[in-house]
Amino acid sequence: MKLNKDLKNRIDNYFENISVEELYFIAIDKYGFRESID
Amino acid sequence: MLLQFNGYHGTNLSAAKQIISSNYELSVGDDEWLGDGVYFFIKGISSTPEVQAEKWAIAHSWDNTRKARRYKRFCVLSSVIQVEEENFLDLTNEDGVEILSYLFDKFEKKLKKLGKGFKPVDGLLINLAVGEGILPIEVVKGNFYIKFAKERIKRINLRTSNSTICTVYNPIKNIISSNIIKIGDIKDETK
């Protein structure tokens, strides 16, 4: 697997089409990401 | 191009019999490694991944809370893994690392709009990429430092990788066959 144009577009499209709020919810609640506070 | 290689999985005898009769179950919660999947030792840093799988099964048998063995017989399975190159993320080379870095960069930039920051955790990023269909990942390979019995007992904790690990996210599709190649008793002394 290489980071070619198609793969870049695929990643870009996902993050362009999802709202910030939805991504935040998915990251925390669905995948268990933990917020970092400096 | 179709890639095919052997993976070695260490476990207990009853789990191995279950795997042979009805395939693997995903290991969930390994967010520090490569996410939710089936884990194998493969050739890479070590030329004897089958020995590492055995050592892992023995180390994993020890329940440190109860100070007792979870099981007394270990088992090593050899599985044939098949995956198309475009579905194989190899984190032991520059191409694979570049993909994961690009993914995290986009993830981080998006969430910065909320003023939020997240620690980059490989396994969680891979879970996100697989679970949300962002990347067509079926199998991932990476190098890790694995603590076997000796390392746990003597508290050896190096940063230098000693194992090449491969994770399969859809065992029904990517694991072609599995065979038990070794069964043994676990002795209480660790040499």
Range of the domain at A37: 1-38
Chain B contact present for A8, CB below 8 A: yes
pLDDT tens across A1-38, in order?
889 988 999 999 999 899 988 898 789 888 988 676 55
Rounded Cα distance between B172 and B14, Å, is: 20
Q: What domains are defined for chain B?
A: 2-185 (3.90.228)
Q: For residue A14, give the nearest of B88, B121, B134 by CB distance.
A: B134
pLDDT tens across B54-111, in order?
998 999 898 878 778 889 889 999 999 999 988 999 999 999 999 999 998 899 888 8
Chain B residues whose CB is inside 8 A of the A14 CB are 106, 132, 134
Whether residue B165 has pLDDT greater than 90: no
pLDDT for res A37: 56
Q: For residue B124, give the nearest of A2, A8, A33 by CB distance.
A: A33
Number of domains composing chain A: 1
Q: Cβ contact (<8 Å) for A36 and B96?
A: no
CA distance to A14, B10, B57, B169, B173, per residue, from B48 (Å): 40, 13, 15, 24, 26
What is the CB-side half-sphere exposure of residue B104 using CA atoms within 13 A? 17
Please give the structure tokens belonging to residue B24.
């693997």
Q: Cβ contact (<8 Å) for A15 and B110?
A: yes
Mean residue pLDDT across chain B: 88
pLDDT for res A36: 67
pLDDT for res B177: 94
